[in-house]
Structure 1
Amino acid sequence: MLEQEQTQPKPLSSSNPQTVSKKRWFLWGAGLGGLALGGITSAVFLVGPAKLPFLDQWFGAQLINSGADLEDSRPSTSTLALASVSPTDRAIQLEELANQGTSSLDRARARYLRAVDLIEQDRGGQALPWLDGLEHEYDVLAPHILAKRAQAQAATGDAAKAQATWQALVKQYPNHPKAAEALFHLGKTNSAYWDRMIADHPSHPRSVEIAVNRLQQNPKQLDLMRLLARHGVYLPDIGSVLDRLRTDYGGQLTPDDWEAIGFAYWEIQRYGSAAEAYAKAPPSAINLYRAARGAQLDARGTVATTRYQALVQAFPSEKETGLALLKLAELEEKPDKAIAYLDQVINTFPDRTAEALMAKANILQAANSPQTALQIQQQVLKEHSGSEFAADLRWQQAEANFKKGDIQAAWEWARQLAQENPDSVHAPEAAFWVGKWAAQLGRTDEARQSYEYVLANYPGSYYAWRSAVLLGWDVGDFSTVRQKTPEVERPATRPEPLAGSAALRELYLLGQTRDAWSLWQVEHTDRVQPTVAQQFTDGLIRLGVNDNLDGIFMLSNLSFREQPDEKQEVAALKHHLDYWQALYPFPYLQSIEQWSQQRQLNPMLVTALIRQESRFEPKIRSVVGATGLMQVMPETAEWVANQINLKQYNLEDPQDNINLGTWYLDFTHREYNNNSLFAVASYNAGPGSVADWINRFGFNDPDKFVEEIPFPETKGYVEAVFENYWNYLRLYNPTVSEKLAQFSKSHANLVNSRLGK
């Protein structure tokens, strides 16, 4: 974090937006290896973009004016619509539905949900009539109904009946995960049941719980530590268990044990330790890759090189080998040897040719061979025009020409990028700047068409929001967004998981997220390389239990799938509203609304900032100590607390954290006359830095100012926060959503979709 003058409070945000997540893009190894290569820094300009025959028809051919009807087509399910309502507020409605629901399923759901509420309110006796015989008409949750009946019986003090019901559950459903719950309760009076639970249901959270307890009593139990390494990765202290396994029992571990330990280390981002575990795991391509990649991330380049070479030798045609060769080139100090590795990629892995060519151009550029590097760049543009690396080149050229004042050339490069690389990460920005530069060139109609094109084709991007602003939409500009109080229309029912059993889906839809999570820990067995459906489901289940950081990570990281069939699955998933609303959730909404109203802040802007800062995690800490949802620095919290006379507070408490964070966000707004661009940038980099940038760059054009922010972290932070804001607006505000649907067919189809309905 930057040091501020002592008269100014320090910025609350101190973490790079890209490091908020505790995972990285190489979670599953091969295709997610974090392989972005440095851009071309040559001062030599490429030749101008080729004039394509259909260039002049580009805008008109792509614009969509759907005029689609936005009426919500999802069916209404009465009980499911109550899943997110508090037990107190839904009691009467549930009883009415239980007695006279529109369908037998709806009545069964209402009975179950009402019984659950009563049990949680310690009114087990009143719950029993609702559960009576329910397992016969609601068979999908029959084991769960027996478990709830046992809990209700225990709550009434009838221990004998509760024991009998638990016994019946084990007898009738011995292989069902819910049997582990029964064995857990039975084991309270007879520990033999716990032995059976661990043996028969090792992945169940109850088995993990018992293993932890037994290890506290006797730490020297290798089998229980093995169980935790495989099934207790979510435990906060799992790292110490893994360390003990390595140091105290290394000689007794099997290769499969080492693979499990490696994966667990990888999950908690201890990549150096993961590398050593994977080095002893069965020699698969992904295990060898992680053994090498982990060593590289641990700054042990020589070890990483040796292991990458072993992977190339053992698995010459696997996809991980292509990544290994690129990494070998990256680690190699001698240009000729690095180029030899890249030539192997070009000859053996055609899908990575463009990437290898660009790496080759970088090496030649650094070796003072700019003309050869330029030829390779032109080869990429010609032979791999649709690749992300060609898009990188085009955007570099657009920016370089803009900086030297050649707006026409910048416009041409950006336009070609948007045309040739419509799926590139640069495409929304390029299409937007086509409009900005067209306006500077006096072509106002073309500028308007460009902004409409961005809205039509990239409706979820930061540049869609900027386009809407420049088209005059009432969505809040940098100077007015603070005062907005947008209407929010939340979905009536939950999204439906795409993987897992029917029972898991039913529990999740009913809002029984903790039970769904427990069931998912047993059912989800493909954690290293999950399917698209499994990863989507995993994200939903994590969000359901407020594991928001990992939940959002799982959902957003679907975009990094590389296999063509998986990319198609992800593209299909993104056509559904469920995906986007899960990606942009509303945790802690009541606290956010309360403090936003008190500080006169747009609650969607506050939500957007929290999503970027912490992914809604109350206890997350950055490496410099920024804490909680709004990533409040302790010294800043103390300063703010003095301003508002707050004597006691806990930064890990959402109420306190949002109270302090919103006050500071109000402060940064007041510092800059309610300009939210400066306020949000100050939140990340500090008021002193922003004041310096205004003095250096001026403020004639906010979009140009954002581009000129010299801290890449803060530039990305500003764009991410306002992209979040725009997505909350387009997904939950009916007015903006309806207007956007007039320009974007994909958005119109989105709001009329609902997964599994």
Structure 2
Amino acid sequence: MSNAKSRLAVILSIAGVSLGAIAGGLLLHQTHLDRQIADELRSWFPQVNPQQPTFQLTPAQVQKSEIAQLVNLSPTERQPYLEAMSQQPNHREYPRARYLLAMDRLAENQPQEAIATLADLETRYPLLAAHILSLRAQAYTQLGDTTQAAATWQQILTTHPNHPVAAEALFELGKTNPRLWEEAIAKFPAHPRTVEIAANQLTTNPNSLPLLRLLAQHALYKPDYTDILDRLTRAHSAQLSPEDWEMIAFGYWEKLNYGKAGAAYAKAPATPKNRYRAGRGLQLGGKTQEAIAAYKLLYSSYPNEKETAQGLIHLSRLVDLQPAQEYLNIVIAQFPHKAPEALIEQSKVLNALKSSESAKQARQSVLTQYSKSEEAAKLRWQQAEDAADNGNLLQAWRLAQEITVENPDTDYAPEAAFWVGKWAQKLGRERDAKTAYEYVLQRYPESYYAWRSALMLGWNVGDFTTIRYLEPDVEYSAPRLRLPAGSETLKELHQLGQDRDAWTLWQVEFTNPIEPTVAQQFTDGIMRLQVGDYLDGIFMLNSLAWRDDPEEQNQYQMLRQQLAYWQELYPFPYLEPIQSWSKDRQLNPLLVTALIRQESRFMPDIKSVVGATGLMQVMPETGEWIAGRINLASYQLDNPNDNIKLGTWYLDYTHSEYNNNSLLAVASYNAGPGNVADWLNRFGFRDPDEFVEKIPFPETYGYVKSVFGNYWNYMRLYNPEIIQKMSKIN
């Protein structure tokens, strides 16, 4: 019996469930905002010190819920355990076990058994009473008893008229009484069933203002959402209120349609954020003159707001050199938090004006007056790299050390701290090198450089030349955290693994998507992840780091101390085909998972602007070439299994082209073999860390670090050996 099975057996035994009584003795079987926008947002919000999460659950936490150990198992795997618990009315999780058992029986087309399991359950489980009635109605429908199904749906409307589940009842009963659909629209406009009703009605009334407005506000998750916004603005522009325009602008912004978002924000209620986004959206949409006007309006309307500082910096890049200097001087004088960035921009303007000495003085001002800033860290790092390139390793080492002291919370700090170690080694300072590597692991545990540091300390994490064939031990089980926002019903559904029902309920409860609290944004991210929206879900969790309010930062820090937070960021979708094809291609499955996370955020239907498709972003012509090589007659790039089959073959191919060096293979996967060959000719390959830093394509440079950073995070979160080592570092 595996460790996971043994733990489950112990837990259920403690709970009073006899494994011997279980029938048959069955054993268990085991890129949203673009980089420019993201960099800009990071510059607004100070980075929070990353800390190592607590990885071990306490015994009390482990024993808190036996059901929690079962939610990720298949119906067949958990059936004997649920049946054992459901036969003990005094068991503390008796209602939960019956609920899950009924769900499973419905899923397996056993409606009669589901109805029997649900009998009188709502009296024992009032928290989910409405959902229990819904399950019963679904079971009657599956059984073909439409009379009892209708009566049960009607019972929901009678006993739970204001519960969101009533929207399901209105939807079903509205199929024979359309008046009830109008009631759903009036009472539950945000419910996904109501959104479905509105979308259906729109087919016969395609320009209905009420329907389009409802969908614009509540249908952000629909694939044709942008088309809905286009239709609304095209057909009803004159009738839309400023609040409507703000809603529309938010939708366009979320869908990365910045040009249309900027135009809509220009018509939204006047706030610093809306005025700023009007300018920024128009700028990114290529409407330069309109953007200039919007930024000027921002400054004249809100001369002292933080958004104005960033707007003036953008404005300086759109105008002639002389007015650019004037705008930057305003930022330097009035906005200390943006003065370092303004000084760097001013140095560029001065260089363009042939005032190199003044430009140098501007950069020096960053180091002397704003020594703690991100810009100061960047200047120091540039100086350290220059010193290293010129062979002055001692100066480079000292400058990198200065970053760890003066700028420990900047984006440059993990890299600088790692190179403190590398350069110390080259200088023969082995003890200093060890201290530096341990510091990186302690202070920046989720960084790419933490992986490189772990390797330098001799940990079994795989190097570029060995990672391909590494077979790390992985414990895939992930505990569910308790959601910080939402109703008790929502939290209960989530704990039970009823993710689609929880997500549905959240659509009604989440009423503030434009300005969410930390708890709401975190919960929204989890809800998205649980229903397969990994792209936006990961973004929602990651972007919590950009909060600038001290209390919100504290809330975020508390959330990120939980193991489940990190495991949500690094999940294992499509585990079975990844493992299968990785084994077939002799590839480390964690490396494949890490690459997929970077390529597509696990979104099987995603397509890049150049046509790369699916989980591993296979280009159509590349897929066709691979299919010919492996005699694959039929495939679909948006089919997860097909895509992984083709993508892993190509990753195996790039490895074979570079003697199984995973650094070169991954770089080639992104940039193509021709470019990698050129870089090898230009830079050589004496030191892989130096080679990475010299990659001239910004995209590939970031890609390599992201893929191997992802790999490291999967190791530190799921590999028992590395988890134990990390606990000792801290």
Instruction: Give the whole-Å Cα distance in 2 for the aligned partners of 1:407 and 1:430.
Output: 13
CA 464–458 in structure 1, closer or farther in 2 if over 3 Å, else same: same
Deviation at 1:22, TM superposition (A): 5.5
Q: Which residue of 691, 701, 715 maps to 2:687?
A: 701
Of 101, 105, 108, 2:95 maps to: 108
CA separation in 2, counterparts of 1:23 and 1:95? 49
Is 2:326 the partner of 1:340?
yes
Q: Secondary structure at the match of 2:151?
A: helix
C-alpha deviation, 1:396, in angstroms:
1.2
Match status 1:366 vs 2:377: no
Would the aligned equivalents of 2:604 and 2:615 in 1 still touch at CA under 8 Å? yes
Give me the whole-angstrom Cα distance separating, in 1, the residues matched to 2:469 and 2:635. 28
Q: Does 1:203 align with 2:190?
A: yes
Partner residue, 2:77: 89
Q: Which of 299, 302, 321 is the equivalent residue of 1:312?
A: 299
Match of 2:621 in 1: 635
Residue 529 of structure 2 is matched in structure 1 by: 543
Are the structure 2 counterparts of residues 362 and 244 from structure 1 closer, same or farther at C-alpha, using a change threshold of 3 Å? same
Q: Deviations over 1:681-729 (max 9, x none)?
A: 1111112221222222211111111111121211111111111001000
Q: How much does 1:608 deviate?
A: 0.5
In the alignment, structure 1 residue 78 sits paired with structure 2 residue 66: yes
Q: Which has the higher contact order (CA 8 A, sep 6+)?
A: 1
Report the AA paired with residue 96 of structure 1: A
Q: Rate the CA distance shift 1:200–1:23 in 2: closer, same or farther, 3 A.
A: farther
For each residue in 1:362-421, what CA deviation from the matched residue of structure 2 results, as whole angstroms up to 9, or x when unmatched? 322332223222223222222222211111111111112222222121111111001111
Question: Which amino acid in 1 is paired with 2:75?
Answer: P
User: Superposition pairs for residues 453-468 of structure 1, below 5 Å?
Assistant: 453-468=439-454
Shifted more, 470-479 versus 651-660: the winner is 470-479
Q: Partner of 2:520 in structure 1?
A: 534
CA contact (8 A) 1:730 1:736 kept: yes
Q: Which amino acid aligns with 1:82?
A: L
Query: Per-residue deviation at 1:492?
Result: 4.8
More displaced, 372-381 or 585-594? Answer: 372-381
Q: Distance in 1 between matches of 2:608 and 2:142?
A: 43
Check whether the contact 2:32–2:255 (CA below 8 A) recurs between aligned residues.
no
> How far apart, in 2, do the equivalents of 1:321 and 1:218 lie?
43
Name the CA distance, whole Å, in 2 between partners of 1:110 and 1:689: 57
| Structure-2 separation of matches of 1:220 and 1:574 | 45
Structure 1 residue aligned with 2:486: 500
* Counterpart among 245, 248, 258 of residue 271 in structure 1: 258
Counterpart of 2:557 in 1: which secondary structure? helix
Residue 90 of structure 1 and its aligned partner are, at CA, apart by: 1.2
Whole-angstrom distance in 2 between the partners of 1:509 and 1:732: 21
* Matched-pair contact (CA < 8 Å) for 1:23–1:268: no
Q: Is the 8 A contact 1:386 1:421 kept in 2?
A: yes
2:169 is matched with which residue: 169, 182, 206? 182
The CA distance in 2 between the partners of 1:153 and 1:379, in whole Å, is 75
Q: Which runs of 5+ in 2 are unaligned?
A: 1-30
Aligned equivalent of 1:128: 115
User: Which residue of structure 1 aligns with residue 32 of structure 2?
Assistant: 21
| Structure 1 length-normalised TM | 0.88
In the TM superposition, 1:9-88 aligns within 5 A as 20-21=31-32, 33=41, 73=59, 74-76=61-63, 77-88=65-76
Q: Deviations over 1:14-59 (max 9, x none)?
A: xxxxxx33667859xxx964769xxxxxxxxxxxxxxxxxxxxxxx
Q: 1:280 to 1:71 in 2, by over 3 A?
A: closer
Q: Does the CA contact (< 8 Å) of 2:295 and 2:312 recur in 1?
A: yes
Alpha-carbon contact 2:207-2:231 (below 8 Å) kept: no
Give yes or no for the alignment of 1:678 onto 2:674.
Answer: no
Contact 1:32 1:560 in 2 (8 A): no
Query: Which one of 413, 432, 455 corresponds to residue 427 of structure 1?
Result: 413
1:480-629 alignment, distance < 5 Å = 480-629=466-615
Question: Cα distance 1:587–1:72, how it changes in 2: closer, same or farther (>3 A)?
Answer: farther
Residues 285-304 of structure 1: matches in 2 within 5 Å?
Answer: 285-304=272-291
Counterpart of 2:5 in structure 1 is none
Q: Structure 1: how far apart are the matches of 2:707 and 2:649?
A: 18
1:205-251 C-alpha deviation (Å, 9 max, x unpaired):
11110111111122132110111111112111122221121122212
User: SS at the partner of 1:85?
Assistant: coil
CA contact 2:343–2:366 (8 Å) conserved in 1: yes
| Offset of residue 69 of structure 1 | 9.7
Contact 1:70 1:738 survives alignment (8 Å): no
Cα offset, 1:737, TM superposition = 1.0
Q: Give 2:159's aligned amino acid.
A: Q
Aligned residues of 1:125 and 1:155 also touching (Cα < 8 A): no
Give the fraction of aligned pairs with identical amino acids, expressed as a percent.
54
User: 1:574, 1:604 → 2: CA distance?
Assistant: 22
Cα drift, residue 180 of structure 1: 0.7
2:310 corresponds to: 323
Long gaps (5+) in structure 1 = 1-19, 37-61, 746-757
Distance 1:135 1:349, change over 3 A: farther
Residues 129-176 of structure 1: CA distance to partner in whole angstroms, max 9, x if unpaired?
A: 222222222222121111111111222222222222211211222222
For residues 598-631 of structure 1, the C-alpha deviation after alignment (integer angstroms, 9 at most, x for no partner) is 1111000000010011011111011111100000
SS in 1 for 2:513: coil
2:468–2:587 Cα contact (<8 Å) kept:
yes
| 1:411 and 2:397 are equivalent in the alignment | yes
* Letter paired with 2:266: A
Report the secondary structure of 1:593's partner residue: helix
Any idea what SS the aligned residue of 1:331 has? coil
- How does the TM-score come out when normalised to structure 2? 0.91
Q: Is the 8 A contact 1:83 1:493 kept in 2?
A: no
Q: Report the CA distance between 1:101 and its aligned residue.
A: 7.7
Deviation, 1:645, is 1.0
SS, match of residue 422 in structure 1 = coil
Corresponding pairs, count: 693
Residues of 2 paired with 1:445 and 1:84: CA distance?
A: 46
Return the alpha-carbon distance in structure 2 between the equivalents of residues 703 and 91 of structure 1: 51
Indicate how the Cα distance of structure 1 residues 385 and 305 shifts in structure 2: closer, same or farther if over 3 A, else same: same
Alpha-carbon distance, 1:325 to partner: 2.0
What residue is the counterpart of 1:392 in the other structure?
A: 378
Q: Is the 8 A contact 1:493 1:509 kept in 2?
A: no
Partners of 2:680 and 2:556 in 1: how far apart? 41
Q: For the structure 1 residues 296 and 492, does the alpha-carbon distance in structure 2 shift closer, same or farther, using more than 3 Å as the test?
A: closer
Counterparts of 1:219 and 1:590, CA distance in 2 = 43
Note the alpha carbon deviations across 1:471-517, whole angstroms, 9 max, x for none.
21111111111111111112353233221111111111211111111
**Residue aligning to 2:24:** none
Q: Distance in 2 between matches of 1:165 and 1:132?
A: 13
**Which residue identity does 2:175 align to in structure 1?**
K
Structure 1's 101 and 376: CA in aligned 2 closer, same or farther, altered over 3 A?
Answer: farther
> How far is 1:309 from its partner?
1.5
In 2, Cα distance between the equivalents of 1:439 and 1:642? 49
In the alignment, the residues of structure 2 paired with residue 293 and residue 22 of structure 1 have an alpha-carbon distance, to the nearest angstrom, of: 13
Paired residue for 1:220?
207
Superposition deviation, residue 572 in structure 1: 2.4
Stretch deviating more after TM superposition (389-398 or 312-321): 312-321
Partner of 1:98: 86
The residue identity in structure 1 corresponding to 2:126 is: D
Bigger shift: residues 433-442 or 648-657 = 433-442
Aligned-partner SS, 1:233? coil
